[in-house]
């Protein structure tokens, strides 16, 4: 019995360590809409320069886990000193759902949904009905159009915007700033 108690303590300790490190160190600034300097990526050995045009510098990562979904990242730096991070994943209904769950865990709230030609604007709906009714209507909308493509979901948190897009083959999750730099 004593052996099992120690094993359970060891498992819990390992689990708690991994749960506090939910994201690689390069991701949190994008989740909060903070400025990121290109030098931070140029100095890292785990990122490779992958620019296709000289006017936009891009850096690409190896695959990593965004919560339960395997993704790889691409960061683009523009001449106006803005940057965006795009996470790429293969499309599956599971990956699509897991990425939405990850955004919710990171504090993002869904603002707008477009599936094929149908749209749902959360802010507009909140002006005419309660948040409970809006939430219910949003769930119905998302379920009614579950197999429609393309799909675009716009999420916001603090100074960050996340655009989750799929064409039914690939998924991109793009993080950008919602306010201009001071």
**177 Cβ neighbours under 8 A, 6+ residues apart:** 33, 34, 35, 82, 159, 160, 161
Is the pLDDT reported for residue 145 higher than 60?
yes
Cα separation, 180 vs 169, whole angstroms:
33
List, for residues 59-100, the tens digit of each pLDDT value: 999 999 999 999 999 999 988 778 899 999 999 999 999 999
Mean of pLDDT over the chain: 87
pLDDT at 120: 97
pLDDT at 85: 96
What is the enclosing helix (H) or strand (E) of 17? helix 2-20
Of 47-51, 81-85, 132-136, 147-151, the least confident: 81-85
Q: Give yes or no for a contact between 141 and 118, defined as CB atoms under 8 angstroms apart.
A: yes
pLDDT at 156: 96
0.75 exceeded by pTM: yes
Residue linked to tokens 């939910």: 22
pLDDT at 2: 52
Strand partners, 3: none
Cα separation, 22 vs 25, whole angstroms:
9
List, for residues 8-53, the tens digit of each pLDDT value: 444 444 443 333 346 899 999 999 999 888 888 888 888 999 998 8
The neighbour count for residue 86, using CB atoms within 10 Å, is 20
Q: In which band, very low, low, confident or very high, does the pLDDT at 180 lie, cut at 50, 70 and 90?
A: low
pLDDT at 3: 54
């Amino acid at each position: 019995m004593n052996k099992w108690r120690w094993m359970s303590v060891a498992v819990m300790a390992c689990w708690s360590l991994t749960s506090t490190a939910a994201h690689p160190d390069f991701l949190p600034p994008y989740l909060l809409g903070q400025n990121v300097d290109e030098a931070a990526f140029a100095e890292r050995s785990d990122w490779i320069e992958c620019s296709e045009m000289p006017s936009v510098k891009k850096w690409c990562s190896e695959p990593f886990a965004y919560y339960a979904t395997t993704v790889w990242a691409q960061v683009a730096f523009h001449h106006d000193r803005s940057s965006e991070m795009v996470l790429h994943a293969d499309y599956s209904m599971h990956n699509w759902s897991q990425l939405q769950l990850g955004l919710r865990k990171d504090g993002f709230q869904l603002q707008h949904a477009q599936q094929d030609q149908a749209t749902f604007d959360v802010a507009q709906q909140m002006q005419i009905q309660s948040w409970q009714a809006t939430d219910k209507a949003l769930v119905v909308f998302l379920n009614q159009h579950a197999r429609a493509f393309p799909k675009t979901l716009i999420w916001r948190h603090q100074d960050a915007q996340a655009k989750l897009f799929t064409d039914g083959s690939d998924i991109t999750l793009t993080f950008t700033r919602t306010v201009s730099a001071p």
